[in-house]
Structure 1
């Protein structure tokens, strides 16, 4: 019998709940988690590195942001808290993850600005920022298809922040993105994770 993965659309494991607490940029968060959702036992180390090392949006940032593969919503909740004028789309194939993100955003009074949906239900909008700790275990082909699909919706002057484990393809993803015509800068490397800042090159902007 195969086990559930965090990218399973409808997890079969019991919806056993718990809570995870963490702090980012001087704010404390206490979020609901559940089995069948990515990193239900702790704040994932890659996500922690991303939130600590990437340039979080400020209160002056508006527009539309994307949390790609939101899990139970730590990135989406941080983005919405730091940028109170922005709208954050939080998307995940996992229905339980979406439910948790919506609950956590509502508990933080962010529900009106955190729009939780399945990938196929996202409206035709462009994103000023994309944030993701992408699911490397789906395989390289699926990961590349995901990057192509969502990075193409980045605004002309937008930026994407990605974190990926060096041992799970961090450097190869950097090379692949560059080969696809993106400007990619490794802004940090910590605990075996690469933080990549991705933006449109001149040819991509054209």
Structure 2
């Protein structure tokens, strides 16, 4: 994103209705080898590009299963959800965000690229009790530690048995301490490990044992 005051940045893409003007921009992106045409806008996370953390996650995360229910926590304009949907067209991808503009953009970008398997919405739109074979996320670290912990502990326990989550977190924003916290906070039916490191980011793997 363009350099700006971080508090203003947070107000924009962590609020339900961004105060900035909804000015759409067209981009052509490559997501894990899949070409996609997308629209982005102001007031959503990394509205001008595929951000570095997401790029690291998409480059290093393993091939997703062909089938199952997948989750993208904090979908923004939909880069991770599109990558999952294009890799696994027979899977169902749930893309969630608090930002109405982000949800609308993800829905629109799914339609633009023929991804009928993306279901974008708020957390409340995810079917109650649904478990996920896969979770990918560039989680919103800047919402604050307590809010982040609450968010992750809402969704990570909903991994299906033998399900995996891959989270990308910048090292200087606490990836290693988050990894240690997850290992303590999750039940002993889960394992937490560093999966990859690149460009100042860690990819954290969370596995729910079978």
Shared fold, TM over 0.5: yes
1:79 to 64, 77, 84: 84
Question: Aligned residue for 2:191?
Answer: 183
The answer as to whether partners of 2:12 and 2:20 remain within 8 angstroms in 1 is: no
Residues 118-170 of structure 1 show CA distances to partners (whole Å, capped at 9, x for unaligned) of 01221121111011000000000000001100011110110001000011110
Q: Structure 2: 5+ residue runs without aligned partners?
A: 1-6
Q: Give the number of aligned pairs.
A: 198
Residues 58-113 of structure 1 show CA distances to partners (whole Å, capped at 9, x for unaligned) of 5xx20100011000001101101100110000000000000000000001111x31
Alpha-carbon separation, structure 2, partners of 1:186 and 1:180: 16
Change (3 A) 1:169 1:5: farther
Cα offset, 1:44, TM superposition: 0.7
Question: Aligned residue for 1:162?
Answer: 167
Alpha-carbon separation, structure 2, partners of 1:50 and 1:161: 8
Q: Is structure 2 residue 63 aligned with structure 1 residue 56? A: yes
SS at the partner of 2:203?
strand
SS at the partner of 2:13?
coil
Pairing of 1:127-206 with structure 2 (within 5 A): 127-181=132-186, 182-201=190-209
- RMSD over aligned Cα atoms: 1.3
The answer as to whether partners of 1:91 and 1:98 remain within 8 angstroms in 2 is: yes
Alpha-carbon separation, structure 1, partners of 2:29 and 2:73: 20
* Deviation >2 Å, runs of 4+: 2-5, 19-22
Cα offset, 1:39, TM superposition: 0.3
